[in-house]
Amino acid sequence: MTTPDALRKAGGGMRETEATTSTALPPSSSNTPATGDKLHKSTVRHHWIVRVTHWVFAWAFIIMVGSGLQIFNAYPRFALKGDTFCCYPFEGKSIPGWLTFGGWLAGARNWHFAAMWVLVLTGIVYLAFIYLHGEWRDLVPRRGDIRDAWEMLKFYLFVRRDHPHHGKHNALQKTSYFVMPFIAVIIVLSGLAIWKPVSLGWLTAVFGGYVWARYWHFVSMIILVLLALVHVFMVFAVDPYSIRSMITGGYNERDSPQSRNARPFYHLLPRWSRRSKTDRLSEPAESEIT
């Protein structure tokens, strides 16, 4: 017959055995923070609506710019005949033909107006989606973004060593993406002002008259083109993997510039030169391996 003392001793031994077993077992994966998994996790970065509107907008924008330059070549100056204009040093000089689209004035106008409606409708769909989906929060500048943009610029200029931490978009991207819609609004309104200078005379007057409305339309287009060129350059120079995410939606955070500490054209360097000095020092010497 088992006595109470024997049962207590047996229970204590079982508890000790359980404690020993629990400390000997490795921690379960559910209790281990999956930091590396999160960094190397493949995610859907862009919704299909964002991807479709992005590429439709890009092609329509190219047609819009090329046809607009062809229209400009029909009268490559801003001043009326017999007058001078203060703010354009290339009065009377046509835009090179390889930059234009549409063939002649009437054809360029047809392409320009067709692309205009595609751009406007695409822009409305995109803005409505990011508002309803909440993605606008990733694009609106916040307190501290000016400082973060400066730190990002220092990193690109090789002044700062480590890639600044950021969310989906860095501060420089957020600033440019936030400014673009406002410039687009100026382009649309000034375009309407020079398209219908009589029926929309009040709008033409807002821009300072027909000549100045045409000028602001041209300048706004140049600014938007420069921003687009910088955007394309930075994609290929810093984050070429994002092109795939804008096509399929998928993106592996392991390939992000932040994970790779990547400066412009970092991905084109030899593999050995991409490693930091700390990584090279931590590797065992060849004599130690042998």
Query: How far is residue 83 CA from its own chain's centroid?
Result: 43
Q: Tell whether 273 is covered by a domain.
A: no
DSSP state of 284: P
pTM of the model: 0.71
Would you call 208 helix, strand, or coil by DSSP?
A: coil
Helix or strand (DSSP H, E) at 255 = none
Q: Tell whether 123 is covered by a domain.
A: yes
- Domain span at residue 87? 45-138
DSSP state of 1: -
Q: Tell whether 146 is covered by a domain.
A: no
Tell me the pLDDT of the chain (290 aa) as tens digits: 555 555 455 555 544 444 444 444 444 333 333 444 444 566 777 889 999 999 999 999 999 999 999 999 999 999 888 788 888 988 889 999 999 998 889 999 999 999 999 999 999 999 999 899 888 887 777 887 788 888 888 888 877 877 777 767 777 888 888 888 899 999 999 999 999 999 999 999 999 999 999 999 999 999 999 999 988 988 888 888 888 888 888 877 777 777 776 666 666 666 655 554 444 444 444 444 44
**Nearest CA-CA partner of 208 in 122, 115, 116, 85:** 85
Q: Tell whether 187 is covered by a domain.
A: no
Q: Tell whether 272 is covered by a domain.
A: no
Question: Which residue reads 């559910």 in tokens?
Answer: 30
Q: Tell whether 179 is covered by a domain.
A: no
Q: Tell whether 66 is covered by a domain.
A: yes
Q: Tell whether 50 is covered by a domain.
A: yes
Number of domains within the chain: 1
